[in-house]
Chains A and B, each alone.
Chain A
Amino acid sequence: MRVKFTVNGRPQEADDVWEGESLLYVLRERLGLPGSKNACEQGECGSCTVRLDGVPVCSCLVAAGQVEGRDVVTVEGLADHARRRAAAGARGTSLPDAQQARGGADSHTGEGTELSPVQQAFLDAGAVQCGFCTPGLLVAADELLESHPNPSDEDVREALSGNLCRCTGYEKIMDAVRLAAARQGEAV
């Protein structure tokens, strides 16, 4: 079957999709967006988390056909998503994030890539080790800070309780979310 939907603001189309394929498979194997990760494919790890019409979901449990006509944001689109959000929040007066240099990124290293605040905080806090859980955690944490700018530690833990990490023991992930929240607070 054919599936048409929007990913990170761009219309996408996938052909010859087998009906049993998940959104995750279509993103990774058909659309060249492997950022969402395939760690468990049973909704028990959160590494495939994407926003589906704004709501964080496990893309491994969304049938490809179910996303027809819908809007998906993946980790690859997170920086853009955050930039648009900041721009909307600034109501057109100033766009500090949007004015950051774009297009100068080194394709080998990602150096110079524009990052969302939560992505930058994960780097700065040392919240990334193997990094396989990172995309899902970033999407979940970004959504948390969008809806709850000043979460308590327990709120953070609850919001991220669907995202397993095997490397870090979560402490630096907590640090990263606190850091992103604090920076977000300063920026307002």
Chain B
Amino acid sequence: MSSPKHPTASAQRGAPAGAPTRITQGSQTRGAIGESTLRPDGTLKVTGEFAYSSDLWHEDMLWGQILRSPVAHAEIVSIDTAEALATPGVYAVLTHDDLPTEVKNYGLEIRDTPVLAYGKVRHHGEPVAVVAAAHPETARRAAAKIKVEYRELPVITDEASATAPGAVLVHEHRTDHHVGHVPHPNIVHRQPIVRGDAAAAARRADVIVRGEYTFGMQDQAFLGPESGLAVPEEDGGVHLYVATQWLHSDLRQIAPVLGLPEDKVRMTLAGVGGAFGGREDLSMQIHACLLALRTGKPVKIVYNRFESFFGHVHRHPAKLYYEHGATHDGRLTHLKCRIVLDGGAYASASPAVVGNAASLSVGPYVVDDVDIEAIALYTNNPPCGAMRGFGAVQACFAYEAQMDKLAKKLGMDPVEFRQRNAMEQGTIMPTGQPVDSPAPVAELLRRVKAMPLPPERQWESSEGADVRQLPGGLSNTTHGEGVVRGIGYAVGIKNVGFSEGFDDYSTARVRLEAVAGEPVATVHTAMAEVGQGGVTVHAQIARTELGVAQVTIRPADTQVGSAGSTSASRQTYVTGGAVRHACEQVRERVLELGRRRFGSYHPAWATAELLLEGGKVVTDGGEVLADLAEVLGDEAVEVEDEWRHRPTEPFDLRTGQGNGHVQYSFAAHRAVVEVDTELGLVKVVELACAQDVGKALNPLSVVGQIQGGTTQGLGVAVMEEIVVDPRTAKVRNPSFTDYLIPTILDTPTIPVDVLELADDHAPYGLRGVGEAPTLSSTPAVLAAIRDATGLELNRTPVRPEHLTGTA
């Protein structure tokens, strides 16, 4: 080993220390679908041995460092890297001029994002140059020596400045496929939805409620920072170990910039420390590969937390203008709404977020007459894209506030009002698409309302007030003074899977063989396990379909076909579907093998319905025909195949009509809060959730997803917001000191009621779980705070200033 600094076992050539290895599930974790099953990677994770992308190490590796723009919008006059390059220990300094091919941009849908800025920078923190050095401090010092001269430009920060006459264009020369239908070049995409006659319906309304709502910029705040290791390979290619949500999407964007064919860019998923949408776009991937190819050495890049706030897209902040009408008997008449999403400097997933916001803006309610418009802006604010809930979150905040206002105006109970207008199976969405599987919206509301309420004044004890249970917590701000309880409800609707005609498929390779007399299944997909528990589910599916105890999950990489993204609540549905699909084919081939080998010994091989159970081939009558290991002998049966859900259609660009979505998922929340009304501090006491999951493949992780999503919704209700200075478009709080996420003392008990109404179109009847609880949690908390304070509260997060009239 040439490096004296690192006593880990010497890494093999090409494979870094900590490179992912296969995970075999054994005795502790034998679960079929429907059983709470423990994670196959759990032991590694609790012992500290699980290798996350920031843990990788390679002999002779260098550290990459990115120089980022200190201003939001400026022309780059000059870049001088000479002094940085001359720094001892520095191996490379690259700017835009060093890119190897004519492909200098990347992007999820629109290739508008420069790998390294050229001509101008469009947002605070945009990458301008990259450095590779032997020690991270050397790389930092060198980066600080790069001289960049900027000529600042006026900043576009909102709709008014984006569309003002003479407004500076964020992108001067757009050629993307949306530019033809947007009303202004600073608008990325616009999606109207028109159905029925909203104006005429409004005239039938007995009451009309209007609101203007503001949704703050939320950060995914995954704990594992953006990171990875690029290792140059002897064939001139590169092997990238990285934490991402979608290996093949990364690959498609990386290879052209490097000037390499895709088969020379090998990608392996390193351990992912959470994602929540924030790893759908590229971060350090291309930079690490460029430096590795330039220097011929492995290059590791790890963002620190400050950089992470600039290194990934955020949830779109939004302005939402809503008008609803209702009749005296509590029926919604119409919806007019306009949703303005701030996409920031680059498109990222903005077009798809627009489609979601528009098509789900009505919420889980029956409204026949709608006039809807959603747009996303190009501005000089931080780029925004995917985050759990994806456009549906912002809309849910607004329509649920509207439901409460309407109920209040009509003198109705807010839950009853929602139930009266709740959609159900058969309801036609504003897009004209029928809801063709269970939509138990009213039932979910009934269930959360029926849960017992937490006792009042739980913070009182014989020794006085326990401040840990009061607003302000450990900060000792109240012993009960000013504290008022409030209760609020909300329900939401989220689409599952990729919509609008996207070819949304996944690929699985399943192998069945006998090892030491035991049948063992191996599942290989490119699915990014980001913590959601997909690897557990894949093993459960293989066990269920193939009747084996032992399943090996291979590391996700690009040696197998695309699994699509770990987002849109889609992986259990789509890659789970692909694993089942491959297992079914394996099973058929194994039975064929059995018929060839043993068919002559027993007529049931030809006549009976045959199953694989408990490592044996059995008839549907329960008769054992053979041991699976015997059937397999020395042969391994392997199938790789793609699987796709039902096709969807794009939304019409004028009317928004189209069968755009695959599946919907629904969750409802009841929030109980206690508000210190004098100080404006909030303690969420309980956040109960009811959700329909179709079929809980792994009940333990289903509940974990619901509780986690609920808590992210709580965060953006009362504390989480990236604050951007409207004068400079600079981020003011890029740290965990000032971007606050809930601690365990901010998070209440979260009782969960799981409903399982099968969707017959989906594998096992399942419904995507991950996102729906993030939607309704926020408006439920806001409704509870409104209940406690009587304030209108049209923005989230709500800050103490908003509750005390001191904003």
Contact = CB atoms under 8 A, between A and B. Distances in A.
Direct contact of A and B (CB under 8 A): yes
A186 interface: no
A112 B700 CA distance: 22
B273 A44 contact: no
29 contacts: A16-B5, A28-B55, A32-B6, A34-B51, A37-B223, A41-B304, A42-B737, A74-B48, A75-B46, A108-B21, A108-B23, A109-B23, A109-B40, A115-B46, A119-B46, A123-B43, A130-B224, A130-B273, A132-B222, A134-B45, A154-B468, A161-B474, A161-B744, A165-B223, A165-B744, A166-B276, A168-B708, A169-B750, A174-B744
A170 B744 contact: yes
A40 B736 contact: yes
Contacts of A162: 743
B708 A39 contact: no
Contacts of B224: 37, 39, 130, 132
Nearest to B303: A38
A45 B273 CA distance: 13
A75 B48 contact: yes
Contact of B222 (A16, A115, A130): A130
B42 A128 contact: yes
Contact of A128 (B8, B46, B276, B304): B46
Contacts of B57: 29, 32, 34
A174 to B, nearest CB: 8
Interface string B734-770: 0111000101110101100000000000000000000
Interface in A98-129: 106-111, 113, 115, 119-120, 122-124, 126, 128-129
Contact of A169 (B6, B28, B271, B707): B707
Contacts of A113: 43, 47
Nearest to B24: A109
Given A44-B737, A76-B48, A109-B43, 6 more contacts: A29-B57, A37-B52, A37-B223, A75-B47, A126-B38, A134-B45
B48 A166 contact: no
A66 to B, nearest CB: 18
Contact of B5 (A15, A44, A119): A15
Contact of A76 (B4, B49, B225): B49
B457 interface: no
B350 interface: no
Interface in A19-36: 20, 28-36
B266 interface: no
B432 interface: no
B704 A167 contact: yes
Contacts of A111: 24, 26, 28, 43
B302 interface: yes
A34 B55 contact: yes
Given A41-B304, A129-B704, A171-B750, A20 B43 contact: no
A133 B52 CA distance: 12
Contacts of A74: 48
Interface in A129-183: 129-135, 138, 154, 156-158, 160-174
A79 B36 CA distance: 25
A172 B707 contact: yes
Interface of B: 4-9, 17-18, 21-26, 28, 36, 38-52, 54-55, 57, 135, 137, 220-225, 271-276, 302, 304-305, 466, 468-469, 474, 530-533, 700-701, 703-704, 707-712, 735-737, 741, 743-745, 747, 749-750
A47 interface: yes
The residue among A37, A39, A162 with the most chain B CB atoms within 10 A of its own CB is A39
Interface of A: 14-16, 18, 20, 28-42, 44-45, 47, 74-76, 78-79, 106-111, 113, 115, 119-120, 122-124, 126, 128-135, 138, 154, 156-158, 160-174
Nearest to A38: B54
Nearest to B224: A132
A19 B318 CA distance: 45
B736 A169 contact: no
B739 to A, nearest CB: 9
Given A44-B735, A157-B744, A128 B39 contact: yes
A43 to B, nearest CB: 9
Contacts of A14: 5
Nearest to A77: B48
| Shortest 10 CB-CB contacts between residues of A and residues of B | A35-B48, A130-B531, A32-B8, A132-B273, A110-B43, A131-B45, A169-B707, A169-B711, A44-B736, A34-B55
B135 A18 contact: yes
A108 B24 contact: yes
Contacts of A79: 47
B137 A20 contact: yes
A42 B474 CA distance: 20
Contact of B42 (A30, A108, A123): A123
A92 B704 CA distance: 40
A135 B223 CA distance: 12
Contact of A166 (B5, B274, B474, B533): B274
A183 to B, nearest CB: 15
A76 B9 CA distance: 16
A5 B225 CA distance: 28
A180 to B, nearest CB: 12
B470 to A, nearest CB: 11
A119 B45 CA distance: 9
Contacts of A47: 223
Contact of B4 (A15, A40, A174): A15
Contacts of B304: 38, 41
Given A164-B743, A171-B749, A123 B276 contact: no
Contacts of B21: 107-109
A169 B774 CA distance: 11
A123 B39 contact: yes
A166 B700 contact: no
A154 B465 CA distance: 13
B604 to A, nearest CB: 37
A14 B3 CA distance: 12
Contact of B743 (A108, A156, A161): A161
A36 to B, nearest CB: 7
A157 B279 CA distance: 30
B49 A110 contact: yes
Nearest to B4: A15
Contacts of A34: 18, 48, 51-52, 54-55, 57
A134 B45 CA distance: 7
A151 to B, nearest CB: 12
A36 B224 CA distance: 12
Nearest to A26: B5
A156 B741 CA distance: 19
B708 A129 contact: yes
Nearest to B712: A166
Contacts of B221: 166
Contact of A32 (B17, B707, B744): B17
B223 A166 contact: yes
Contact of B46 (A33, A44, A138, A171): A138
A130 B47 contact: no
A172 B735 CA distance: 27
B691 to A, nearest CB: 13
Contacts of A42: 305, 735-737
The residue among A15, A34, A165, A172 with the most chain B CB atoms within 10 A of its own CB is A34
A132 B221 CA distance: 12
Given A32-B17, A157-B744, A166-B274, A40 B305 contact: yes
Contact of A131 (B8, B23, B41): B41
A185 to B, nearest CB: 21
B302 A38 contact: yes
Contact of B704 (A120, A126, A135): A126
A45 B46 CA distance: 17
A122 B46 contact: yes
Nearest to A106: B24
B26 A109 contact: yes
Nearest to B63: A29
A10 to B, nearest CB: 11
Contacts of B533: 129
